[in-house]
Amino acid sequence: MTNKPFASVRWMSVAAVLTVIVTLFAVQRSTQAVGEKAAAPVSPSAFLTTLNFKFEGSATCSSAKCHGADTSINKKNLWGNEFTLWHGRKDPHHTAYRTLVTPKSKAIAAELKIASAIKSERCLNCHSTLATSPTGADLKGQDFSAAEGVACNSCHGPSQKYREPHSTADWIDAQRAKMDHAALLTTFGLYDTLPVLARAARCTSCHLAIEPDLVAAGHPQPTFEMNHFSNIYPDRHWHDPAGTFPAELWANGQLAELHDALHQVYFYAGSTAPSAAVEFKKAYDQVMSHLSVFYALFTTGAVTSPDIGALDADIKKLAAANTAKDMAAAGAAALAAADQCNAKGLTAAVAGFKPDKAVAMKVLAALAASEVGKSYGPRGQEQQAYAIEALAQAAGDEAATKAVAAILPAKPGEVVKSEDYAKGLAAVRASLK
């Protein structure tokens, strides 16, 4: 395994993208044993460059008649002020590039022997948009600027082919009626964020897994959960359906997050860094935390899939390897389990999870009764609290929503004191009686 893949691996190829939407976060599994040198994976942004369409700057979206209006016009597929909101001072994606020039980022770059973070593809991969193809072709289109940070084309794909036609009313819906997400991507370069699993895969690709040497150099270890991060996103420039959608977002997010967390275990299983053992334990707890709350979908019968058995078998191998401190076996099991996350039946079942309030309440009760927070420390507490938040929102349970607020991390990655967490969880459980 290489210790220096791009940040937040998304091991994808154009061939992988041509599969159905439910496998959009599939990986190309390495056949090498942990510790052996594997082929360099493709980063989240570099993956989009394999389409060979040009990336255009946000100014091409900024017309008041398109996405640059002062206020929302609330039309289908168009608020009108998406650029205005993104370009504001609060949006963290817009400011992502700026963090690369801070003293902390410069220190991380120096530790990694990166001459300039703002010129490094490894850093720009998640802090901006890469615009060079794997063959070295320049894919910078109209008004492109890396300094814009994570801009429109970073999340929605290179706009060379779709910018003009998508300005026509209902063009996107007409294309969706004719082709799936993968065809939209390869035909127009449009990464459709309407399918929830596709959106989750795009977000987690930069917001969860990170290779060991970056963390050792001082880069914060990301933690993530789709619904909560959507809740706290300032000046959000998209709108989601009402009703039980938070449960859908959470469930699809958990599958994508589990997939990437398993890669994190794989990274640390092959790491020789002095802190590898400590970080492996954290990565393992991260996996088991996502897995434990994700399993609530199946133990309650809210989602069914025969593929869950194969995933569980690889997880048991990972747990056994962890107990035996066999890093080679742990890495192999983690990679195999990540591959099981791509199983067509499993991804289809999760993508199709659209619960009513009664089902959301059933899953909520199971999550609240769980001991994942006690079993897996801060990461377990975090994911349990996020899960309760999402299902309480979906069920319309105001009492549980209010109670869980006390145990949500004040900032992503912050740790709630165990005694405070236990007290807050007890309040959540009491609210459900």
Predicted confidence (pLDDT) per residue in 265-286, tens digit? 999 999 988 889 999 999 999 9
The Cα–Cα gap between 106 and 90 comes to: 23
Q: Is the pLDDT of residue 13 over 90?
A: no
Cβ atoms < 10 Å from Cβ of 73: 10
Written in H, E and C, the secondary structure of 184-244 is: HHHHHCCCCCCCHHHHHHHHHHHHCCCCHHHHHCCCCCCCCCHHHHHHHCCCCCCCCCCCC
- Percentage of the residues of the chain whose pLDDT score is greater than 70: 89
Any bridge partners for residue 75, and if so which? 78
- Mean of the per-residue pLDDT values of the chain: 88
pLDDT digits (tens, 9 = 90+) for 388-403: 999 999 999 999 999 9
Higher pLDDT, 293 or 74: 293
Number of other residues whose CB lies within 10 A of the CB of residue 375: 14
In this predicted structure, what is the pLDDT of residue 11?
Answer: 31
For residues 105 and 291, give the distance between their C-alpha atoms in angstroms, rounded to a whole number. 32
pLDDT at 16: 36
Q: Among 127-136, 151-160, 224-233, where is mean pLDDT lowest?
A: 127-136
Distance (Å, whole) CA 219 – CA 197: 27
The confidence score (pLDDT) of residue 331 equals: 96
Please give the model's pTM, rounded to 2 decimal places.
0.89
- Over range 83-108, report the average pLDDT: 94
Mean pLDDT of 194-198: 93
CA Rg value for the chain: 21
Which range of 24-33, 89-98, 392-401 scores highest in mean pLDDT? It is 392-401
Residue 262: per-residue pLDDT: 95
Over range 255-268, report the average pLDDT: 94
Q: Which residue has the tokens 């199946």?
A: 298
> What CA–CA distance (Å, rounded) separates 401 from 145?
41
Give, rounded to a whole angstrom, the gap between the first and last alpha carbons of the chain.
50
For residues 158-163, give the mean pLDDT: 97
Res 4 pLDDT > 50: no
Place of tokens 């939407």: 21
User: Residue 32: which pLDDT band, with cuts at 50, 70 and 90?
Assistant: very low
Residue, of 28 and 400, whose pLDDT is higher: 400
pLDDT score of 290 more than 60: yes
What percentage of the chain reaches a pLDDT higher than 90? 75
- Does the pLDDT of residue 41 top 60, yes or no? no
- The pLDDT tens digits of the residues spanning 110-154 come to 999 999 999 998 899 899 998 988 888 999 999 999 999 999 999
pLDDT computed for residue 210 by the predictor: 87
**Residue 10 reports pLDDT greater than 50:** no
